[in-house]
A = this chain, B = another copy of it.
Amino acid sequence: MGGFKHLVVVKFKEDVEVEVILKGMEKLVSEVDAVKCFEWGQDIESPEMLRQGFTHAFLMTFEKKEDYTAFTTHPTHIAFSATFVAAIDKFVVLDFPSVVAKSPA
């Protein structure tokens, strides 16, 4: 929780092997120390009206914005980004300092 977040919400192209993309992403975050936390999920149940066609969310946490900036220029990230962008039909990316308004007691 907290820190600087890199949130990516996507809809993959229909012919994409999502498992392959996921493995590439897990390899990427495992190789870059600046990524402190990485979690993701797939929504396959919510009404289409809510999902707007999007299916996957990816959330990376960095200690501070500078770490995220360094990540974006990391060679492994740049290489993976090309693969990722080719696999997606549409996306939304938000990068922001996280405000923790409620946390586990």
Contact = CB atoms under 8 A, between A and B. Distances in A.
A101 interface: yes
B57 A5 contact: yes
A57 B94 contact: yes
Interface in A40-84: 40-46, 50-52, 54-57, 59
A39 interface: yes
A91 to B, nearest CB: 8
B45 A95 contact: yes
A40 B98 contact: yes
Contacts of A94: 9, 41, 43, 46, 50-51, 54-57
10 contacts: A25-B101, A38-B102, A39-B101, A40-B98, A44-B96, A46-B94, A50-B92, A51-B92, A54-B92, A55-B94
